Structure 1
């Protein structure tokens, strides 16, 4: 008999909950369209905007500005992601070519390294701008490249790394 009372109380509570839910939906109908339709709640307020200023603010500083203010010390730290495959000594190739004097070097000319040919098709020199694009997304910049690195997503990291690599030929 006690089990029957417990089961009846549970069913009664469920019934009250479902009826309460039904009543609440009837009273506070929102339309379910997230702001669309005849029962939409809220208002659209149009404001004048300066699209050029909004775009500039969203994009942040240019690559030239980032490179001019780059931190060579942080670039040396960022190189930690590269050192598994690249060496900094002149002519010391590894899985990847030596990065000594790479900034403004002709693409695909490191002596003793077998390039895939994909890089020569997209750039002639490793200018800071080309390095930036390559380091952001190697496979996207040079489809078919042997470099399996996924890239450096932060523009500041790329600028710091390029500034660091540019100091190696001094």
Structure 2
């Protein structure tokens, strides 16, 4: 069976392994200790402010209306934003994957006769006013659930205002 030397080697190997793990744990604790900032043996060398001690100041977000953004919109920047639309829309009176966008501002929704609109847009009443275009361009899927338009939308209100200002010049 086992002689005492073999048993001693096995027990010594297990104890040695446990000692290695114990020393590794002590070393890691000494290096990466994140305990309290007391003056004892585990005091931090520096303090990182996380903002948890002080109440957070709320940023005051000034809500600017779309009409104000549109009044100060930059047509040239809107033309650059339109580059995102060029893959599907044209401005020469012909349709692409989407309907042509020349004259779209204040045009009735889904009114380009030779384009096959989705049922949701075909069923909408009203015109593409700057405000409706702003809502649609922010998120086409939210404005018209079921639309065929796969564009995710323009998240920046100023980009939408610039684009609508550009589209207003295309009559």
Q: Given the two structures, how large is their TM-score scaled by the length of structure 1? A: 0.69
Q: CA deviation at 1:29?
A: 5.5
Mark the runs of 5 or more structure 1 residues left unpaired by the alignment. Answer: 1-7, 31-41
In structure 1, how many angstroms separate the alpha carbons of the residues matched to 2:34 and 2:116? 73
- Give yes or no for the alignment of 1:58 onto 2:61: yes
Question: If you compute each CA radius of gyration, which structure gives the higher value, 1 or 2?
Answer: 2
The match for 2:168 is 166
Instruction: Choose which of 113, 127, 138 in structure 2 pairs with 1:125.
Output: 127
The match for 1:82 is 85
Q: How well do the aligned residues superpose, as a CA RMSD in angstroms?
A: 3.4
Contact 1:67 1:160 in 2 (8 A): yes
Q: CA deviation at 1:153?
A: 1.1
1:97-116 to 2 correspondences below 5 Å? 97-116=99-118
Contact 2:135 2:143 in 1 (8 A): yes
The match for 1:33 is none
The match for 1:140 is 142
Q: Given the two structures, how large is their TM-score scaled by the length of structure 2? A: 0.69
Contact 2:109 2:124 in 1 (8 A): no
Contact 2:109 2:127 in 1 (8 A): yes
Mark the runs of 5 or more structure 2 residues left unpaired by the alignment. Answer: 1-14, 38-51
SS at match of 2:61: helix
